[in-house]
Amino acid sequence: MSLPPSPTRYQHFIGGTSTDGHSSDRIERASPGHGVVVSTYPAGTEADALAAIATARTAFDQGPWPRTTGAERQAILQRTAQLIRDQRDDLGLIECLESGKPIAQARDEMDWAAGIWDYAAALCRHLHGETTNTLGDGMLGLTLREPAGVCGLITPWNFPLLIVSQKLPFALAAGCTCVVKPSEFTSGTTLRLARLLKEAGMPDGVCNVVTGTGDPVGQALAESPDVDLVSFTGSTAVGRKVAAAAGRTLKKVALELGGKNPQIIFADADLDAVVDAVVHGVYFNMGECCNSGSRILVEESVADALVARVAEASATVPVGDPLDERVKIGAIINDAQQAKILDAIASARRDGAEVRLGGAPLASGAGRFVQTTILDRVTPDMAVARDEIFGPVLTVLRFRTEAEALEIANGTLYGLSASVWSRDLDRALRMTRALKAGTVWVNTFLDGAPELPFGGTKQSGLGRELGPQAVLEYTETKTATIRLGPYTPKWL
């Protein structure tokens, strides 16, 4: 794999065609691992966003898609899954170059995304309401599941195709039409996906993509009265803004936000497995992962031994050129993120944490890399124990009792995921019940399947993606109350 000879020039995708939109301004994307421009996109304007919304509105109100059968929707979604698989190498390369993630991981993510499209395709045939037949002889109740309407989908840069695949196929399965706003840093695969959908038979206007920055493009989606639902993945700070803007027109809102996810390790755990899961959990995708296992809580009696093993293993994980097949930790997305990571490490040092490994940038050509870093002897009051870092930085806290572990684990604003490591099943289940998180893993981490719902509690978000109910998030329920037999006047 090598760098492309020239940047790929992309356009918005609106109404089934590619267009430069209303402005000639363009965004240049340089590969985080090499500093070479690999893509250029239109810097979308509010007018571009409004044009895409109008197109999606017409496709919803007058077009065929909301009226197609489940079987027709299933066929198109399945064909899209297959096209993603067919093009996994090309798509993986785009993601590797734009996001800095390792090439081998990027290809795996394309397969994972295809699996989600397959799963959503299956749900197309299972969308139905209910009947209520217990209202007496004279009344029958029905509920109809109807598509929510035009959906605005706003996605971040860390898993571009994967995250749009946690939203778009479920919205389409429900019969909705969409405008997608990918991150300004990683729009390539989302634009390619829109073309694959067209190739798979999707009617024009159903899936539109507008590139550009959050303000104005994402903001327009959140504010527009013609958008019925907005689904956002990104930072908690921007999630609040999106929810506030969406509140002005009272549209439905789904939010997948940050996390400070604890892995709680009891002394009786299988420590060999723990070492692997800790290293994977914190360094996967350079730590730029909302589900990152960035906090480990270790029972005091095994903490020194475990930290030593994790440090030894961390030092062997290959960091470097994302195009290298052997690399497991690639480049950091942008300068702001690199600065945020290094600031968090500096703040931990000031607060008295012990840097057991790394803690500095890695000098490597024009790329942007950070050493695998372990901060030990972190206490719950330190900022680094509470705030999301989004980098290859592990914080280690120690506990003595189950109650103390629980208090530390639940003591942040976030509630996305957590894990419990113990051979004592009673304890693992007690902790699973008491942890405030949308996902709890037991004796594993970063495991899952499209069948399992994903989302956060507290300030990690609203709503659930994946799982059987993912498609229901994109529907409205209509109640039909039907009187049987002669109508009995009630007032006159």
By CB under 6 A, residue 337 contacts ligand NDP: yes
By CB under 6 A, residue 100 contacts ligand NDP: no
CA 432 vs CA 73, 105, 409, 417, 423: distances in Å: 37, 30, 12, 11, 14
Exactly one of 16, 188, 205, 258 binds ligand NDP (CB under 6 A); that residue is 258
By CB under 6 A, residue 290 contacts ligand NDP: yes
Asked whether the CA dihedral 195, 197, 201, 205 is positive or negative, the reply is: negative
242/271 with CB nearer ligand NDP: 242
By CB under 6 A, residue 343 contacts ligand NDP: no
Query: Where in 431-490 is the site for ligand NDP (CB under 6 A)?
Result: none
Give the CB-nearest residue to ligand NDP.
214
The answer for residues whose C-beta is within 8 angstroms of residue 173's C-beta and 6 or more apart is 73, 74, 77, 120, 121, 123, 124, 127, 471, 474
Rounded to 5 degrees, φ, ψ at 375 are: -110, 110
By CB under 6 A, residue 233 contacts ligand NDP: yes
Query: Where in 171-190 is the site for ligand NDP (CB under 6 A)?
Result: 181, 183-184
**DSSP readout, 354-396?**
EEEE--SEE--TT--EE--EEEES--TTSHHHHS---SSEEEE
Edge-first strand listing for the sheet containing 354-357: 354-357, 373-376, 393-399, 295-299, 262-265, 417-421, 439-442
CA 428 vs CA 265, 269, 301, 402: distances in Å: 10, 11, 18, 10
CB of 416 to ligand NDP, least distance (A): 8
179/306 with CB nearer ligand NDP: 179
Residues designated as active site: 256, 290
Rounded to 5 degrees, φ, ψ at 488 are: -100, 115
By CB under 6 A, residue 384 contacts ligand NDP: no
By CB under 6 A, residue 347 contacts ligand NDP: no
- Cα separation of 367 and 413, whole Å? 33
By CB under 6 A, residue 375 contacts ligand NDP: no
CB of 165 to ligand NDP, least distance (A): 14
Rounded to 5 degrees, φ, ψ at 408 are: -65, -45
CA 435 vs CA 264, 348, 356, 406, 458: distances in Å: 11, 25, 28, 7, 12
By CB under 6 A, residue 293 contacts ligand NDP: no
- x-or-dash string of contact with ligand NDP, 196-215, rule CB under 6 A: -----------------xxx
102/214 with CB nearer ligand NDP: 214
256/321 with CB nearer ligand NDP: 256
The answer for residues whose C-beta is within 8 angstroms of residue 220's C-beta and 6 or more apart is 46, 49, 50, 53
By CB under 6 A, residue 241 contacts ligand NDP: yes
CB of 147 to ligand NDP, least distance (A): 23
184/299 with CB nearer ligand NDP: 184
By CB under 6 A, residue 238 contacts ligand NDP: yes
- Cα separation of 433 and 34, whole Å? 46
By CB under 6 A, residue 158 contacts ligand NDP: yes
Exactly one of 168, 222, 331, 357 binds ligand NDP (CB under 6 A); that residue is 222
74/285 with CB nearer ligand NDP: 285
Exactly one of 154, 168, 393, 418 binds ligand NDP (CB under 6 A); that residue is 154
Q: Which residue has the tokens 């605005």?
A: 152
Contact residues for ligand NDP (CB under 6 A)? 154-158, 181, 183-184, 213-215, 218-219, 222, 233-235, 238, 241-242, 256-258, 290, 337, 340, 388, 390
